[in-house]
Structure 1
Amino acid sequence: MQAPAKASGLPGVKHIIAIASGKGGVGKSTTTVNLALALVAEGAKVGILDADIYGPSQGMMLGIPSGTRPEPVGDKGMKPVYIHGIQAMSISLLIDENTPMVWRGPMASGALQQLVTQTQWENLDYLLIDMPPGTGDIQLTLAQKVAVDGAVIVTTPQDIALLDAKRGIEMFRKVDIPVLGVVENMSTHICSQCGHEEHIFGAGGGQRIARDYDTELLGSLPLTLKICQQADSGQPTVVAEPESDVTMVYRDIAKQLMVKMDDKAGSAKKVPQINIIED
């Protein structure tokens, strides 16, 4: 039996978390898929909605075979694809993978709305939405159509990435979506030959932005070729190396998100207390 829909929410989904970035190329999609797998490893039921209409990548990162299509349900519904213990839906599952999405903003927003409303999620604890970079139509459509519980901002320590991440934080605040925290990707590079660790994109950027915007740094991840190769091969780090140091970082971030969602649900259920004072 599916969980009921929240107000303006989705049937079968308890919590919705947007994974976003101000600019492309900071590892947002890689972070999304590994956080989803980390939540699964912690015992949660998890789904991924690939909302990057112009550049969907979750199908490849999850290793979904080319040509896979979602199973239809009724006249308009469709079941998500199951893989690695995750329920997944992406525009890439509905089109040829080599077809460019040459759409204007309203068309892309309409496609996202159909993915959101027609996917039949099954009793998810968490739905992670892999957002496109930027602060445009897709982000506004999501904020208007879905009751998002919170957003995670992915950035690199580089100043230009931090500038765009700040815009992303401001955007979510304008549409009343709380920012749960910041994930700093490509924080350091460790030489595979000598083990030397270097902050090639700068140091402390994620911590500064978290401090300046009254949120927190959820975790920092290194720049390594292996993370990229594993995602490209359809075996993300959390399933490829479940005991690695990088996987432990993802799992720690996942645990923090679970606590935040529990706290949020608890505060929403609190009933005002009536204090009776006798004269």
Structure 2
Amino acid sequence: MLVQEDVINALQQVQDPELHQSIVTLNMVRNIHISGTHLSLDIMLTIPGCPLKAKIQQDVEEALQAIGASSVAITFGVMTEQERRALSTSLQAKNANEQGMPNMLQPHSGVQFIAITSGKGGVGKSTVTINLAVALARLGKRVGILDADIYGFSIPTMMNIEQKPTMLDQTAIPVESHGVKLMSMGFFTNGNQPVMWRGPMLNKWIRNFLVNTVWGDLDFLLIDLPPGTGDVAIDMAAMIPQAQEIIVTTPHLAASHVASRAGLMAQHTKHSILGVVENMAYFEGADGQKNYLFGQGGAEHLAKSLQTEVIAHIPFAQPEENTGSSIYDEETVIGEIFTHLAEDLLYQ
């Protein structure tokens, strides 16, 4: 015969798909009634219209059927504003120490922060960010992306993400796609409206993305920095002194010359440079001939000036690889290059 303790223990194993915590711990389970092997209960969703309601229902039914329930009647409701506020406060408290510093920013958190930067726009910095993140996730790592390019945000579009983050009062739950969690200014603007802010507001939003976001347990957080050496790059260096950096450039000497400024800033802020990624390195023709459309040597020149190395040469995609998505399949040439780059980072 089923008893309340059995039901609670079974539901303790069911996690909210976004918060990755037990629905019992989150106080989502209410009003359990047992009649022989027939169960009824209420589940309070965190927000109205929760997109993962069906997943929660399936997981609850399977967990209870596994302990002998012959029928499970679930009534869904929604947490009150007061309950959401209390949950938000609880989540923030778990994610930070007494001084308010997020746990993942503390020195021994186990999170590896990698800032992807460049001297100028248009060199493929965001493409490198998302494909490296997805490659790490394919290797079984827990990965997040912080799109810190507040003015030039593009990652939600590049990853074909239309979903918005779930908001619990002032706490955000990142959107997840391709096994990667993402927070971006692109989720909070109206359409393609520009962001017109000065430095203090930039700092506030970057801090919010770090402090008021439930990232959960991560192995890597990749930070897509805006090009150049402006306010966001300076603030990020101060907030995450343990971050490492990857410098993205094209083969053109002018691009690598500008990129060297981002590298020099990394050195000035005591960020270690993991290496240089050369994007748009060449186009390989049908005959196997490599055509260096932007010249050669820019990445090597940059790496030498920064006393680091070139860690990847990314070619132009073949026509058949341009599927409309900026994320390359792991079987493609470019996908394999990002897999090797991810493996090098893991086993360096």
TM-score scaled to structure 2, two decimals?
0.67
What residue number does 2:116 align with? 19
What residue number does 2:311 align with? 218
Residue 218 of structure 1: SS of its match in structure 2? strand
Distance 1:154 1:106 in 2: 27
What residue number does 2:193 align with? 99
RMSD of aligned Cα (Å):
2.4
CA offsets, 1:215-257, max 9 Å, x none?
A: 1111101123659944xx34510xxx22122111111111122
Distance 2:110 2:195 in 1: 28
Whichever residue aligns with residue 221 of structure 1, its letter is I
**Cα 1:120–1:11, aligned 2, differ >3 Å: closer, same or farther?**
farther
Residue 301 of structure 2: SS of its match in structure 1? helix
Distance 2:139 2:218 in 1: 14
What residue number does 1:200 align with? 293
1:33 aligns with 2:130: yes
Distance 1:59 1:13 in 2: 26
1:236 aligns with 2:327: yes
What residue number does 2:257 align with? 163
Select which of 326, 333, 337 maps to 1:245. Answer: 333
Whichever residue aligns with residue 212 of structure 2, its letter is Q
1:204 Cα deviation from its structure 2 partner: 2.3
Task: Check whether the contact 2:260–2:305 (CA below 8 A) recurs between aligned residues.
Answer: no
Task: Check whether the contact 2:241–2:269 (CA below 8 A) recurs between aligned residues.
Answer: no
Distance 1:228 1:104 in 2: 39
Task: Check whether the contact 1:188–1:200 (CA below 8 A) recurs between aligned residues.
Answer: yes
Residue 127 of structure 1: SS of its match in structure 2? strand
TM-score scaled to structure 1, two decimals?
0.82
Distance 2:104 2:165 in 1: 26
Select which of 53, 56, 71 maps to 2:153. Answer: 56
Task: Check whether the contact 2:244–2:273 (CA below 8 A) recurs between aligned residues.
Answer: yes
1:125 aligns with 2:222: no
**Cα 1:7–1:41, aligned 2, differ >3 Å: closer, same or farther?**
closer
**Cα 1:213–1:16, aligned 2, differ >3 Å: closer, same or farther?**
same
Residue 223 of structure 2: SS of its match in structure 1? strand
1:148 Cα deviation from its structure 2 partner: 3.7
Task: Check whether the contact 2:256–2:301 (CA below 8 A) recurs between aligned residues.
Answer: no
1:116 Cα deviation from its structure 2 partner: 1.9
What residue number does 1:178 align with? 272
Q: Which runs of 4+ in 1 moved over 3 A?
A: 1-13, 225-230
Select which of 60, 70, 85 maps to 2:165. Answer: 70
Residue 134 of structure 2: SS of its match in structure 1? helix
Distance 2:107 2:171 in 1: 13
The higher radius of gyration belongs to 2
**Cα 1:131–1:44, aligned 2, differ >3 Å: closer, same or farther?**
same
CA offsets, 1:98-153, max 9 Å, x none?
A: 21111223222222222122111111100000111000000011011124430000
Long gaps (5+) in structure 2: 1-20, 22-93, 97-101
Percent identity over the alignment? 36
Task: Check whether the contact 1:13–1:127 (CA below 8 A) recurs between aligned residues.
Answer: no
Aligned length: 251
Of 148-157 and 108-117, deviating more is 108-117
Distance 1:179 1:227 in 2: 34
What residue number does 1:264 align with? none
Distance 1:235 1:186 in 2: 14
Of 182-191 and 203-212, deviating more is 203-212
Structure possessing the higher relative contact order (Cα contacts under 8 Å, 6 or more residues apart): 1
Task: Check whether the contact 2:237–2:243 (CA below 8 A) recurs between aligned residues.
Answer: no
Residue 347 of structure 2: SS of its match in structure 1? helix
1:178 Cα deviation from its structure 2 partner: 0.6
